[in-house]
Amino acid sequence: MSVNRMLPENPTIEHQFYQVKGTPSYPTHTRRAKSAPYTRRRFVPTKADRPYGSFPRGRPDAVPEPAPPPARSRDRLGTVIRRGLPWLGVLVIPVLLLALAFTPVPSPEDVRPSPTPTPAMSEVYARVAPAVVQIRAVKPDGTTLEAGSGVVIDEAGDILTALHVVQNVPVLSVLFADGTESRATVISEVAQSDIAALRPANPPAQVVAATLGSPNTLRIGDDAIVVGNPFALTRSLSTGVISGLNRSVSVPGRNQTLTGLIQFDAAVNPGSSGGPLVNRDGDVIGIVTGLVNPTGTPAFSGVGFAVTIDTAAGALGIPPD
């Protein structure tokens, strides 16, 4: 064992430390004779002086500072934390699961089908143009005179047109979109509506009929599309809008007034009469009957009229689709 003794105040006494094995021996003290005045020397301990540990530094007679008390509180806190961590995980997990259990699940969005896109004008034309025919008046010498337009309304090849196109014409001929030409006869007419129905003698092998719509859903500003034969220009397309509904027009040279007409601003000219007025879906909603020009000339001035398809087809016993 080692014995560590503090140095006394008397500088004439030296202190040494010994290693003791077995029975301990005690240091001996030898008094020296009085010598020259004492000179303070620096005390430097050696390994022999501290066989079992370090020696305190500083002055030999300095009292070492007491060691700080052990961090018992911190040790206890660490022990508590280490012991509590497993239980903390056990507690946190149920709390999280409980929070997730009560988290409101957002309801799925109300998915609504997108509206059907409006067909392009080219698609509308492709639907109705094959059903448009050119009506001709046959002269006694066999030559033909362009008279107006018409539209095929059923698989038999029956045609709706304006009455004034075929009235007082002894021989009629119709030219279909596929190039088939056939003589035709008037099978029905409704003078008060300026509507006539024709039946071809030799219809095409494959008849293309138009789809009849309903004018009851028309609104001012809706698309107005006309396909006809103005100035003998077969199956020409003109577009505009519905300008008015339920119009009444007096027929020049006749004591007659047409009522319940559709007003539109798509271009129509001589040869357009009898052709179909169609909506943006390509359904026939009217039969072109004429135009109005302030000068009295048969040229378009921005105002055209059509008989509604339910009036035209219904008067002939043909219910619209």
- Contact yes or no for 27/18 (Cβ under 8 A): yes
3 state SS of 257: strand
* DSSP per-residue string spanning 186-206: EEEEEGGGTEEEEEESS--SS
At residue 171, the pLDDT reads 93
At residue 239, the pLDDT reads 96
Q: Which residues of 183-220 are buried (b: 16+ CB within 10 A; e: fewer)?
A: ebebeebbeebbbbbbbbeebbeebbbbebbebeebee
**CATH 2.40.10.10 residue ranges for the chain:** 121-200, 215-315
State the catalytic residue, choosing from 149, 158, 164, 283: 164
State the catalytic residue, choosing from 158, 194, 265, 283: 194
Specify the CATH superfamily of domain 215-315: Trypsin-like serine proteases (2.40.10.10)
The pLDDT tens digits along the chain (321 residues) read 444 444 444 444 344 444 444 445 445 555 555 555 555 555 555 555 555 445 455 555 555 566 665 555 555 555 555 555 555 555 445 444 444 444 555 555 565 665 667 889 999 999 999 999 999 999 888 888 888 999 999 999 999 999 999 998 999 999 999 999 999 999 999 999 999 999 999 999 999 999 999 889 899 999 999 999 999 999 999 999 999 999 999 887 778 899 999 999 999 999 999 999 999 999 999 999 988 877 777 778 889 999 999 999 876 776 655
State the catalytic residue, choosing from 149, 273, 283, 310: 273
Q: How far is the C-alpha of 318 from the C-alpha of 312, rounded, in Å?
A: 9
Query: What residues contact 306, with CB distance under 8 A and at least 6 apart?
Result: 261, 262, 264, 277, 285, 286, 287, 288, 289
pTM of the model: 0.64
Q: How far is the C-alpha of 69 from the C-alpha of 48, rounded, in Å?
A: 31
Q: Count CA atoms within 13 Å of residue 31 on its CB side.
A: 3
Q: Please, which residues bridge with residue 240 across strands? A: 224
Instruction: State the Cα angle at 19 between 13 and 25, rounded to 5°.
Output: 70
Residue 15 appears among annotated catalytic residues: no
Taking alpha carbons only, the member of 125, 77, 100, 97 closest to residue 281 is: 125
At residue 145, the pLDDT reads 85
At residue 236, the pLDDT reads 96
At residue 16, the pLDDT reads 42
Residue 273 appears among annotated catalytic residues: yes
Look at the domain 121-200 and name its fold. Thrombin, subunit H (2.40.10)
At residue 59, the pLDDT reads 52
Q: In degrees rounded to 5, what are phi and psi of residue 195?
A: -125, 140
